[in-house]
Chain A
């Protein structure tokens, strides 16, 4: 069974530029999560999708971050414009559904904003 796929693995941009990350969850997983992991900290949930719908985006900085999950499968997370403090690893995870299933994580995308 293929795991959660993410791309790109690394991205370096200048502040005020825009960037997008892509995630393909495990086949059949209805729930998808985006986490931000700043160096030295544990991951922090940015947004959670259940199929196409947003379940929780309370910690997503909506003035600059946006995310979508078209057709309930792949998802993209966008930052526009990026700030220096957005430098972090962005992790995507998926789970079967909202009934206590384990979350499986992708390899992450490391973003450096200069």
Chain B
């Protein structure tokens, strides 16, 4: 079974600075998807960024980018120019190509310091 590990329960960053959230996963599959979801206090889970394992290029979405290291099974999220609205729980998630089930990590709570 696949597992997703987020080793940082909490992180904080100064507004306008850059922060990196870590995620590692365990799988025997070669093709899969990885996601970062953001969950603000309102609880609505929002997709931040998605990476397909067969693509070597790291995904980017505006201020959000990932560092995908397939051999190391690592999938970190970098947030540049942090804003107050980025404060939330961030979840890393894994999905097999042939199965829609998402497996989530335990989350990292990100605090933005004004």
Verify A105–B45 contact, CB threshold 8 A.
Answer: yes
Q: Would you call B42 an interface residue if the criterion is a C-beta within 8 Å of the partner chain's C-beta atoms?
A: yes
Which of B11-19, B65-73, B102-110 is near enough to bind chain A? B102-110
List A residues at the B interface (Cβ < 8 Å). Answer: 3, 31, 33, 40-45, 48, 55-56, 89, 91, 93, 95, 98, 100, 102-108, 110
* Residues of B in contact, count (CB < 8 Å): 23
- A-chain residues with CB within 8 Å of residue B106 when the two chains form the complex: 40-42
Q: Which residues from chain B sit less than 8 Å from chain A, CB to CB? A: 4, 33, 35, 37, 42-47, 50, 91, 93, 95, 97, 99-102, 104-107
In the complex, which of the residues A41, A45, A89, A106 contacts B102, with contact meaning CB atoms closer than 8 Å? Answer: A45
- Contact B47–A98 (Cβ < 8 Å): no
Please tell me which one of the listed residues A100, A103, A107 contacts residue B97 in the complex, with CB atoms under 8 A apart.
A100
| New A-B pairs, 5, CB < 8 Å, besides A40-B106, A107-B43 | A33-B102, A41-B107, A91-B43, A95-B100, A102-B35
Residues of A within 8 A of B91 (CB): 42-43
